[in-house]
Amino acid sequence: MGQHYDVLVELLLGLLDDMFFAAIPAVGFALVFNVPKSALVYCALVVLSGMAHAI
C-alpha cells in the first residue's frame, strides 16, 4: 500500500509543479498583450486548473 501512496504523491506533486510553472508564462503573455489587470487572475486560474495546459 505504501508504494502506491508514494507513486500517487509523486504524480500529484508533479502535476502541481507543472501547473504552477505553466501559470507564470501565461500571465507573462497576458501582460505582453495588454490584458486588463482584473483578468490576470483568471488567466492564471485557467492554467492552474490544468485545462489550458493539457491542450
What are 32-44's pLDDT values in tens digits? 999 998 998 888 8
Q: Of 45, 46, 51, 48, which Cα lies nearest the Cα of 19? A: 48
Average pLDDT over residues 9-20: 84
**Residue in 14, 43, 38 with CA at minimum distance from that of residue 28:** 43
Q: What domain range is 43 assigned to? A: 2-54
Percent of the chain predicted with pLDDT > 70: 85
At 5, list the grid cell: 501512496
Whether pTM > 0.95 for this model: the answer is no
Cβ neighbours for 50, distance < 8 A, ≥ 6 positions apart: 15, 19
